Amino acid sequence: MMSSREYQEPEKFKGKNILVIGGGVSGADTASDLVPCAKTVSISVKKPGLYLPRQFPSGPNDMMHSYLGRYMLSRMSYSEYIGYLVSIMPDYMQTYRASGLLPDLANNNALHVNEKIIPNVAAGLLKVKPQVKRFTDKGYIEFVDATQEKYDVIITCVGFKMPDYSFVSGFDRKQLYEHFFWTEEPTLAVINPPVDTAGFGAAFPYFDIISQWVINVFSGNSALPEKAVMREWCAEHMASLHVKRFYDSWLETIRTGLQAGLLPDPCRNFSPYWNIITSVVKPAYLAKPPAIPEPGIIDNMLDVSTAKIQILSGLGKDALGHFLRKGDITDAQYRAAVNTDPRGSISAYLPYSPIYL
């Protein structure tokens, strides 16, 4: 038995019967990597994930949509989202259905990027097994469906343990305000994905925005709330770290950037804010918004114009009047935003459901 951290190259496993435990990105990559070399490869999956290729027909996966485009995908029903995927990748989605691995329900943006696992499963080159139940006394693996198999090598790809901060006297991870700042001593910050989440999406802009926030706080350019306020936030949000939440790093970049004052305030400077959220994910745009948006390759499949009105409508009439006088919006956009039912407004923070399906 070995972990994915120890796995280096597939050639060492030639002629072996391999079981890979874990259906995330590392499990899918490792199992797919082994298929050409090993005698047999099986992958134990607790629940099927959404596996999509690195390259879509029109370009790289992570260039398909802007931040706003990703938010709009999150608002689709799952059946609508699958229909969207079928419309842009009909052949791949046909193979996906044939593989039997297409989830009945999933978070739309909880994507595992791998272009090999689905074709390999559909072709019978990779066998899918359910969750492992136990190791028997005779060296077999028993799965939750009561089947048993014997393998030459088992490779575990099951993620990471919660970090151990016991070397910091008095530290309690439940006291991390916004998951980053220690409420009792805010000169200590933890730059890490929240420990109670299943994180998905581009990581570099996310860590960039968090790092900027920490630097601003430590340098005195930004202030954190009073301790009582931070403790109250922690009591509400950090009490159940054993419950996994869905965490969209793209959308958290926007939320965190606005909360920390690192991105343009949409109530005052709507155009630069809009140019960021309607552009593809590039860290440079967080520091200097593009003069003209760089939309996702297939953002035009989504109703971005209506989404703009819905965001504007949530900023208030005073802000809208200011934008109209500046020439940031047209008279038609002003009237449409003012007349939008408040229930149809979209928060500039681009909120999404944290429930991990």
In the chain, where does DSSP find H-type helix? 25-34, 67-74, 78-88, 90-99, 117-122, 204-218, 227-237, 249-259, 270-277, 283-287, 304-313, 317-326, 331-338
Alpha-carbon Rg of the chain, whole angstroms? 23
Maximum C-alpha span of the chain: 78
Backbone angles phi, psi at 216, to 5 degrees: -65, -40
Give the pLDDT confidence score for residue 238 in this predicted structure: 87
Average pLDDT for residues 279-305, to the nearest whole number? 96
Give the pLDDT confidence score for residue 202 in this predicted structure: 67
Give the pLDDT confidence score for residue 200 in this predicted structure: 85
Higher-pLDDT residue of 237 and 17 is 17
| Residue 290 pLDDT level (bands cut at 50, 70, 90) | very high
Amino acid at site 10: P
Q: Cβ contacts of residue 1 below 8 Å, gap of 6+?
A: 153, 154, 155, 156
Q: Which residue has the tokens 């419950």?
A: 243
DSSP state of 125: S
| Residue 332 pLDDT level (bands cut at 50, 70, 90) | very high
The Cα–Cα gap between 329 and 237 comes to 37
Full DSSP string of 195-243:
TTEEEES-SHHHHHHHHHHHHHHHTTSS-PPPHHHHHHHHHHHSS-TTS
Confirm if 43 and 128 have CB atoms less than 8 A apart.
yes
Per residue in 150-169, pLDDT (tens digit) is: 999 999 998 877 788 889 99
Please report, to the nearest 10 degrees, the dihedral formed by the alpha carbons of residues 69, 70, 71, 76 taken in order.
90
Average pLDDT for residues 184-205, to the nearest whole number? 84
Average pLDDT for residues 92-111, to the nearest whole number? 96
Paired tokens of 343? 């229930």
Q: Which residue has the tokens 């965490």?
A: 247
**Is pLDDT of 195 > 80?**
no
Q: What is the separation of C-alpha 133 from the centre of its chain, rounded to a whole number of angstroms?
A: 29
**Domains in the chain, ordered, with CATH?**
2-53+89-156 (3.50.50.60), 173-263 (no CATH)
pTM for the model: 0.93
Average pLDDT for residues 223-251, to the nearest whole number? 90
The Cα–Cα gap between 90 and 309 comes to 32
Higher-pLDDT residue of 62 and 241 is 62
Confirm if 273 and 348 have CB atoms less than 8 A apart.
yes
**Is pLDDT of 74 > 70?**
yes
Paired tokens of 123? 């072709």
Q: Which residue has the tokens 């939750």?
A: 144
**Is pLDDT of 196 > 90?**
no
**Is pLDDT of 201 > 90?**
no
Closest CA to 126 of 137, 136, 118: 118
Long-range contacts of 338-344 (CB under 8 A, 24+ apart): 338/313, 340/309, 340/310, 340/313, 342/313, 342/314, 344/310, 344/313
Q: Which residue has the tokens 């596996």?
A: 51
Mean model confidence pLDDT for the chain? 94
Per residue in 30-39, pLDDT (tens digit) is: 999 999 999 9
